[in-house]
């Protein structure tokens, strides 16, 4: 990490820390925090909640993956040194260890922006423009409001973008180690959220294209290097499987249990694009610029773009069918946050390859960023579990 990347990381971390709520804001965050508390005491079981299931010995376990609580443990242990009696799982009291654990997504989100910056440099975006884009993405997308909460999507987004970053490095250098690290990053994404596995066919398609392009270069003539480089992913999948076996005391248990995937697509899918509450473009408006650049750079990056598109379609089809824990449509748009940075890659590549002038880029980005800041900045400074939605608030403020 060079000095600029370090400064970007520290500055972003400080900025996101300004919005730390000091407590879990949702039942998901509270149960994830209870899991951290339990892990620190050598257990996994937590008090019953909306996002837990009965498992081993009739105790309750959170349905999400283990990675977010695991990466929160070091901070929890550091903060707990300032607690005379750290709160136990289920307690509503908040200690210093809890505050440090709840701050995990703030440094994870900062790392996500650094990855975007490094990827922009890799595809030949000028350093100043790359920093500006990373800053705009940090304040005008869902990264901002969900950096303060304790959901797993920011960590999943970071792992997926890390996988994509390694694929671009592999395309540039043709070194198998980047494929190994890509496999490891994708495995970490699955350990964060099991639903990230849905994106695997898209990444496999992308890797297949890279294999065809690199065939015969630098000793990459055989298929065996692809197979053994997938080892870290298989290790992570096996680890998740053992985690499920322990939680549910069954060799055939699954995290989602008996959840239903029967929501009609006609009811849910259009809302992820057009409704004010769930629209991925309204809450991440800079994504709109990725669309024209997606087509403008298609010829050179068709394998990568098709891989991302396949991942998008598969993930959307599953999330749109999922009936959430309240019995309705997934309460996005946070469910789509995991894929937002991935879909910004065509924007970065287009800027780097088409050499778009800084003034023209600013004229295109800033109006979209303004909308994103209004939507996400509002959600970052209120308790969005109780306050009106951002769209309703601004329409009321304008007078509609």
Give tens-digit pLDDT for 2-48.
899 999 999 999 999 999 999 999 999 999 999 999 999 999 999 99
> What pLDDT was estimated at residue 280?
92
For residues 44 and 165, membership in a common domain is answered with: no
More confident site: 315 or 176: 315
Tokens of 176: 């198998």
Domain around 250: 3-19+104-394
SS3 content of the chain, % helix, strand, coil (to 5): 70, 0, 30
Whether 47 is in a domain gets the answer: yes
Q: What is the pLDDT of residues 387-397, one digit of tens each?
A: 888 888 898 88
For residues 171 and 119, membership in a common domain is answered with: yes
Rounded to whole angstroms, the Cα distance separating 178 from 135 reads 27
Whether 32 is in a domain gets the answer: yes
Q: What is the mean pLDDT of residues 126-142?
A: 95
Full DSSP string of 237-305: HHHHHHHHHHHHTSTT--TTTT------HHHHTTHHHH-TTT-HHHHSTTHHHHHHHHHHTHHHHHHHH
Q: What is the pLDDT of residues 178-229, one digit of tens each?
A: 999 999 999 999 999 999 999 999 999 999 888 877 665 555 555 666 677 8
Residue 265 pLDDT class (50, 70, 90 cuts): confident
Tokens of 58: 């009739």
For residues 149 and 108, membership in a common domain is answered with: yes
The pLDDT of residue 326 is above 60? no
> What pLDDT was estimated at residue 325?
59
Whether 399 is in a domain gets the answer: no
Whether 400 is in a domain gets the answer: no
Look at residues 102, 117, 146 and tell me which one is the last residue of a structural domain.
Answer: 102
> What pLDDT was estimated at residue 371?
95
Q: What is the pLDDT of residues 271-317, one digit of tens each?
A: 888 888 889 999 999 999 999 999 999 999 999 999 999 999 999 98
Q: Which residues contact 63 (CB under 8 A, 6 or more apart)?
A: 51, 52, 53, 255, 256, 257
Rounded to whole angstroms, the Cα distance separating 269 from 331 reads 12
Look at residues 102, 117, 147 and tell me which one is the last residue of a structural domain.
Answer: 102
For residues 240 and 372, membership in a common domain is answered with: yes
The pLDDT of residue 105 is above 90? yes
Look at residues 57, 86, 102 and tell me which one is the last residue of a structural domain.
Answer: 102
For residues 44 and 132, membership in a common domain is answered with: no
Q: Judge if the upstream peptide bond of residue 333 is cis by omega within 30 degrees of 0.
A: yes
> What pLDDT was estimated at residue 150?
95
> What pLDDT was estimated at residue 1?
60
Residue 97 pLDDT class (50, 70, 90 cuts): very high
Please name every residue paired with 62 in a beta bridge, in sequence order, or none if there are none: 52
> What pLDDT was estimated at residue 211?
81
Whether 75 is in a domain gets the answer: yes
> What pLDDT was estimated at residue 127?
93
Lowest-confidence region among 113-117, 124-128, 157-161: 124-128
- In the chain, the number of structural domains is 2
Tokens of 168: 């671009």
The model's pTM = 0.94
């Amino acid at each position: 990490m060079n000095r600029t990347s370090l400064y970007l990381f520290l500055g972003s971390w400080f900025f996101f820390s300004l919005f730390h709520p000091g407590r879990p804001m949702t039942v998901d965050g509270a149960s994830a925090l209870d899991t951290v508390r339990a892990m620190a005491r050598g257990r996994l079981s937590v008090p019953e909640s909306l996002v837990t299931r009965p498992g081993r010995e009739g105790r309750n376990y959170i349905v999400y993956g283990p990675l977010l609580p695991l990466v929160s443990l070091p901070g929890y242990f550091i903060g707990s040194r300032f607690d005379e009696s750290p709160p136990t799982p289920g307690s509503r009291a908040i200690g210093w260890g809890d505050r440090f654990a709840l701050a995990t997504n703030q440094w994870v989100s900062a790392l996500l922006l650094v990855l975007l910056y490094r990827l922009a440099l890799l595809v030949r975006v000028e350093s100043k423009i790359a920093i500006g884009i990373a800053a705009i993405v940090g304040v005008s997308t869902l990264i901002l409001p969900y950096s303060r909460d304790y959901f797993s999507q920011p960590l999943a987004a970071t792992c997926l973008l890390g996988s994509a970053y390694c694929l671009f490095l592999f395309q540039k250098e043709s070194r198998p180690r980047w494929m190994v690290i890509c496999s490891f990053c994708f495995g970490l994404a699955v350990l964060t959220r099991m639903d990230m596995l849905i994106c695997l066919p898209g990444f496999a398609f992308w890797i297949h294209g890279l294999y065809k392009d690199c065939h015969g270069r630098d000793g990459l003539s055989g298929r065996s290097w692809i197979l053994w480089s997938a080892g870290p992913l298989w290790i992570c999948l096996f680890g998740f499987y053992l985690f499920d076996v322990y939680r549910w005391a069954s060799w055939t248990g699954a995290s989602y249990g008996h959840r239903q995937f029967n929501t009609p697509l006609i009811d849910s899918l259009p809302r992820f694009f057009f409704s004010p509450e769930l629209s991925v473009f309204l809450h991440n408006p800079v994504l709109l610029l990725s669309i024209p650049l997606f087509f403008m750079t298609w010829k050179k990056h068709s394998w990568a773009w098709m891989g991302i598109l396949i991942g998008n379609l598969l993930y959307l089809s599953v999330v749109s069918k999922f009936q959430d824990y309240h019995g309705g449509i997934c309460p996005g748009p946070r469910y789509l946050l995991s894929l937002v940075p991935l879909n910004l890659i065509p924007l970065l590549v287009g800027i780097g390859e088409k050499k778009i002038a800084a003034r023209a880029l600013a004229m295109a980005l800033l109006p979209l960023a303004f909308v994103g800041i209004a939507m996400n900045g509002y959600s970052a400074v209120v308790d969005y579990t109780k306050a009106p939605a951002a769209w309703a608030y601004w329409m009321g403020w304008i007078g509609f």
